[in-house]
């Protein structure tokens, strides 16, 4: 069983930045970030493979968000710049042992408790 704990959420004004962190209880190959706004479905934000060679972003965050990982620390990060009010939501770290390629939320067995991000206009 892998445990994930997120941190780094908060409230910022539009145009600001936040850095989310997620620590895992052990190494697991594919790490992803998802988010869910009130009344909306959970959506994928970014994912990174074990060696960092495969990284994917949702179109809505490309050029603004950067995902990275530090396997020595079992950490994954999400640097979020130029934040917009539409980025508001609960952000979740997730992990799965298989490839990140085309992996949807249902294929991730491990989830953190989430960290809230609120962007005001």
Encode pLDDT of 90-120 as tens digits. Answer: 999 999 998 998 889 999 999 999 999 999 9
Structure tokens at 69: 């990982």
The structure tokens 């959420």 sit at 9
- At 1, is the pLDDT very low, low, confident or very high (cuts 50, 70, 90)? confident
- Per the listing, tokens 């206009």 go with 121
pLDDT at 53 over 90: no
Indicate the SS3 state at residue 85: helix
Burial, 73: exposed, middle or buried (Cβ in 10 Å; 0-12, 13-18, 19+)? exposed
Contacts of 85 (CB under 8 A, 6+ apart): 14, 119, 120, 121
- Binned at pLDDT 50, 70 and 90, residue 52 comes out as confident
């Amino acid at each position: 069983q892998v445990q994930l704990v997120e941190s780094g959420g908060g409230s910022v004004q539009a145009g600001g930045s936040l850095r989310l962190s997620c620590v895992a209880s052990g190494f697991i190959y594919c790490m992803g970030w998802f988010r869910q706004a009130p009344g909306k479905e959970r959506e994928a934000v970014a994912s990174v493979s074990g060696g960092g060679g495969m990284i994917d972003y949702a179109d809505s965050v490309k050029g603004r968000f950067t995902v990275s990982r530090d396997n020595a620390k079992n950490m994954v990060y999400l640097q979020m710049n130029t934040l917009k009010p539409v980025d508001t939501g609960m952000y979740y770290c997730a992990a799965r042992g298989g490839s990140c390629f085309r992996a949807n939320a249902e294929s991730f067995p491990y989830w953190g408790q989430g960290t809230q991000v609120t962007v005001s206009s």
